[in-house]
Amino acid sequence: MNILITGGAGFIGSHLSERLLENSKNKITVIDNFDDYYPRKLKEANIKDFIGNENYVFYEADINNPDKLKQIFADNSFDIVIHIAAKAGVRNSIKNPIDYAKTNIIGTLNILECMKEYNVKKLIFASSSSVYGNSESDTFSEDLDISKPISPYAATKASCEQFLYTYSHLYGINVVALRFFTVYGPKQRPDLAINKFVRCIKEDKPVTIYGNGDNVRSYTYISDIIDGILAAIKYNKSAFEIINLGGIKTVSVNEMVETIEKVLGKKAMKEYLPMQAGDVNKSVCDITKAQDLLKYYPKISFEEGIDKFCKWYETAYGD
C-alpha cells in the first residue's frame, strides 16, 4: 500500500510510520514542515531511523503550499492519506487564531483538493476530543453536539470534520475522522502535561496544576492510538465515519501526578493556579463505536503507560 502521512515527523506520525514500515509491502511517504512550535531537533530525532529505508520517502513541505503538494501527489500514486499535520496547542491557538485557521482548515482543504484532483479515495483524519468543548454529558460519544468549541484549535478541528463530510459526499472520498483523546507516550511533545510533569519532578521544579486538579481526561497510550489508526485503514463499511479513540479509564490531574510520583519514586512540588482559557473541565471518552466498527480495545493501562514513558524519558534525556 502506498501511504501518505502528513505531519509524519511528529509524535503520532513517527510512531505510525514505524508500525507501517514493519510491513515490507507498505511504501510510506511523509510530509512535515518542522513547525517551530517545538524544537526541530526533536522531530529530526523522531524520524532518523527511517531515513535510508527504501520504503520511506520524506518531503520537507508545508500543507499550505498547494503547488508543492500537487507535485508530491503527481509524483506518487497514493492509495490513502493519513492527515495528522496541524498547528497544535489549545492555549497557543488563542494567541494566534488566524495561523491555526490557515494551517488546520486551509491546509486540510489543500489536501482534499489534491485528493480530488489525483483520485485518492481514502482519508484518515486526526481530529481531537477538544471538539466536545465543555460538554455536560457524563461521557463523550460521537453524536454529541460540537457546535460550542471553546478554543480556536477546537473550532478548526470541528470545521475540518464538516469539510471532510462535504468532500466525501461530493467526490466519493471515504473518510474516517478519529477523535483522539489525550495521547501520551515516548516522543510526546515537550509542552504536554505528562512530559512536562516528569521533567519538572526530575529537575526539582514546581509542577503547575491549573484548577484544583480534579478535572479528568481519558489518557490514551500511543500504541493504542496506532492500533486504532491501523484498524481505520482497513475499515470499508461506510463512506464517512467519526470515531473516538480513547484509553482504558479516565484519570484526574491529581491522580496523574500521583502516578508519576510513584513511578519516579519522588514527590512533586505542586503549584495550583486558576484554570486557563480554552481548557476543558473534563474529557471522558466513549469508545463504544470504535469497539463496534474497528474492534478497538485499548490494552495499556495508565500506570503501565506512565512507566513506559518514564523509562523512555530516562533513555532519551538521562537522569
Q: Write out the three cell numbers for 149.
A: 468549541
Render pLDDT for 131-155 as a digit per residue (tens, 0 to 9). 999 999 999 999 999 999 999 999 9
Contact 243, 289 (CB under 8 A): yes
Q: Rounded to whole angstroms, how far apart are CA atoms 137 and 25?
A: 43
Backbone angles phi, psi at 272, to 5 degrees: -100, 130
The closest of 127, 157, 146, 124 to 240, measured between CA atoms, is 124
Q: Which residues are catalytically annotated?
A: 153
Length of the chain: 319
Distances from the Cα of 133 to the Cα of 63, 125, 241, 253, angstroms: 26, 19, 20, 18
pLDDT averages per 10-residue partition of the chain, 319 residues:
97 98 97 93 96 97 98 97 95 95 98 98 98 94 96 97 98 98 95 93 93 92 98 97 95 96 94 82 94 98 97 85
Q: Rounded to whole angstroms, how far apart are CA atoms 196 and 203?
A: 11
Q: Compute the half-sphere exposure of residue 215: CA atoms within 13 Å on the CB side of its CA.
A: 15
Residue 71 CB contacts under 8 Å (≥ 6 apart), including other chains: none
Q: Write out the three cell numbers for 302.
A: 495508565
pLDDT computed for residue 277 by the predictor: 78
Q: Write out the three cell numbers for 211.
A: 484548577
Fold held by 2-184+219-246+285-298: Rossmann fold (3.40.50)
Question: In the chain, which ranges are continuous DSSP H helix?
Answer: 11-20, 40-47, 66-75, 90-95, 97-100, 107-117, 152-171, 193-202, 222-234, 253-264, 288-294, 302-317
The closest of 65, 73, 79, 86 to 12, measured between CA atoms, is 86
What ranges do the domains of the chain cover? 2-184+219-246+285-298
Render pLDDT for 247-296 as a digit per residue (tens, 0 to 9). 998 999 999 999 999 999 999 999 998 877 777 888 999 999 999 999 99
pLDDT computed for residue 199 by the predictor: 95
pLDDT computed for residue 319 by the predictor: 55
Residue 7 CB contacts under 8 Å (≥ 6 apart), including other chains: 13, 31, 32, 83, 84, 85, 86, 126
Note the pTM of the prediction, 2 decimals.
0.96
pLDDT computed for residue 249 by the predictor: 87
Q: Would residue 240 be called left, alpha or beta, if left means φ above 0 and alpha means ψ between -120 and 50 degrees?
A: beta
pLDDT computed for residue 240 by the predictor: 98
Q: Rounded to whole angstroms, how far apart are CA atoms 215 and 306?
A: 18
Residue 75 CB contacts under 8 Å (≥ 6 apart), including other chains: none
